[in-house]
Amino acid sequence: KNDLKDLRDAHVNYNKRQESSKAEVTRVQKEKEDVMRESAAKQEASAMKLFELAEEKNKQLFALANHSAYSQA
């Protein structure tokens, strides 16, 4: 009878550890997804900033080209 109780306790403990492991895997996976989402958002913000800087530089070059064309005319 004692062996049966020990076996049942071992089984319950095993199940608890399995559930705990699953919860830990889920938690770590969620953290990883959060980090990846945050990283993607930062990359997008950097790309937008670069795009804005490039647009500004294009405007400056266009203005310079126009000014140069008028100066030579």
38-70 per-position pLDDT tens digit: 999 999 999 999 999 999 999 999 999 999 888
**Structure confidence by residue, pLDDT tens digits, 18-31:** 999 999 999 999 99
Mean residue pLDDT across the chain: 95
pLDDT, position 73: 67
What pLDDT, on the 0 to 100 scale, is given for residue 52? 98
Say how many CA atoms lie within 13 Å of 44 toward its Cβ: 6
Q: SS3 for 1?
A: coil
